[in-house]
Amino acid sequence: MEIGLIGLGRMGLNMMKRLTQGGHRVTGWSPSGGKEEAVREAGGVYAESREALVAALPPPRVVWLMVPAGKAVDENLDYLLPLLTRGDLVVDGGNSNYRDSQRRAERLASAGLEFVDAGTSGGVWGLTVGYCLMVGGTAEAVARIEPVLKTLAPPDGYLHVGPVGAGHFAKMVHNGVEYGMLQAYGEGFEILQASGFNFDLRKIAHLWNQGSVVRSWLLELAERAFAENPTLDGVRGYVEDTGEGRWTVLEAIDHDVPAPVITLSLLQRFRSRQEDSFSAKVIAALRQQFGGHAMKTAE
């Protein structure tokens, strides 16, 4: 199958490699430029522009976007719309909000274009183990890109989950669950480290993956991380979020679904970015006021 790929970052370039290894012809363009050699090494064809990428694809075309959610997706669609022709299909494989995907599908449909939202999980490991794909769109549109989905995913690793928007909704909740799992593992290993028993955290992570009910790929990665840096020296506990956790919490609120673990894991990420919490300062000052408790002063 022939496909155009816009966005050649860590995931996009690895997806190109997996597709070319699977026998597909992939033409790629990078918004940041400078990817010619990397594309050649990946077995793809480098396009100097989006115009060149579209011209290189036989109609009806398939163009897959792997760009950051939000403004970058709309900017690319603005540019592509005059270049594409009726029957062409655009896939958004980034972490877009599902409501944005629904809006974009309506816009493209008015021009005779099809749209698929593909929630993509796998990170930098997707090249070797495959990508988990949660796909939203019409049955006909998804069937058109099924050869690509089969190549990108491991066995049983992709699913047509519903109409447009359903793919990114499923990926949003997937990432919300991920937030909670990461927080639980992080807290557990911190308790082990603080225990005074001098646990080997790499060995504990390995042990828990041998038949334990908490075994997971994340624990395999924890074992790897502790093997590389047993005490995580030099690692700052600053945890970013890319939006999906926030959206999951908002959807839980809108649907009256209690989701305390995911919500608190999101709030902990906010806390991780503060050098010093002002709210904690207020509490310390109040305890001094009502109880005479000593306050620690800043150095």
Mean pLDDT of all residues in 55-59: 96
Average pLDDT over residues 270-291: 86
Q: Which residues are known catalytic residues?
A: 171, 178
Strand partners, 117: 92, 136
Residues 6+ apart with CB under 8 A from 60: 85, 87, 88, 89, 144
What does the pLDDT average to over 203-227? 96
Between the CA of residue 15 and those of 19, 67, 107, 180, 274, what are the distances in Å?
Answer: 6, 13, 27, 27, 35
φ and ψ at residue 266, rounded to 5 degrees: -65, -45
Residue type, 187: E
Q: Which residues, 6 or more positions from 183, have their beta carbon under 8 angstroms from its beta carbon?
A: 261, 264, 265, 268
Q: In 3D, which of 35, 139, 97, 56 has the Cα closest to residue 250?
A: 97
Average pLDDT, the chain: 94
Taking the C-alpha atoms of residue 182 and residue 265, their distance in angstroms, rounded to an integer, is: 8
Percent of the chain with pLDDT over 90: 85
pLDDT tens for 142-163 read: 999 999 999 999 999 999 999 9
Per-residue pLDDT at 243 exceeds 80: yes
DSSP string, 25-87: EEEEE-TT---HHHHHHHT-EE-SSHHHHHHHSPSSPEEEE-S-TTHHHHHHHHHHTTT--TT
pLDDT over threshold 70, residue 9: yes
Interval 84-134: pLDDT, tens? 999 999 999 999 999 999 999 999 999 999 999 999 999 889 999 999 999
Residue 264: pLDDT band with limits 50, 70, 90: very high
Name, in order, each residue with C-beta under 8 angstroms of 215's C-beta and a sequence gap of 6 or more: 208, 209
Q: Are the C-beta atoms of residues 219 and 208 closer than 8 Å to each other?
A: yes
Contact yes or no for 65/92 (Cβ under 8 A): yes
How big is the chain by its Cα radius of gyration, in Å?
A: 23
Instruction: From the options 3.40.50.150, 3.40.50.720, 4.10.520.10, 3.40.50.300, give the CATH code of 2-163.
Output: 3.40.50.720
Structural domain spans, the chain: 2-163, 171-278
Share of the chain above pLDDT 70, in %: 99
In the three-class reduction of DSSP (H, G, I as helix; E, B as strand; rest coil), residue 135 is classed as strand
Which DSSP category does 277 fall into? -
Structure confidence at residue 299 (pLDDT): 63
Q: Higher model confidence: residue 175 or residue 293?
A: 175
Cβ atoms 37, 31 nearer than 8 A: no
- Count of Cβ atoms closer than 10 Å to residue 213 Cβ: 5
What is d(CA 76, CA 6) in angstroms, rounded to the nearest whole number? 9
pTM: 0.92
Out of 3.90.226.10, 1.10.1040.10, 1.10.3720.10, 3.30.390.50, the CATH code matching 171-278 is 1.10.1040.10
Of the pLDDT bands very low, low, confident and very high (cuts 50, 70, 90), residue 242 is: confident
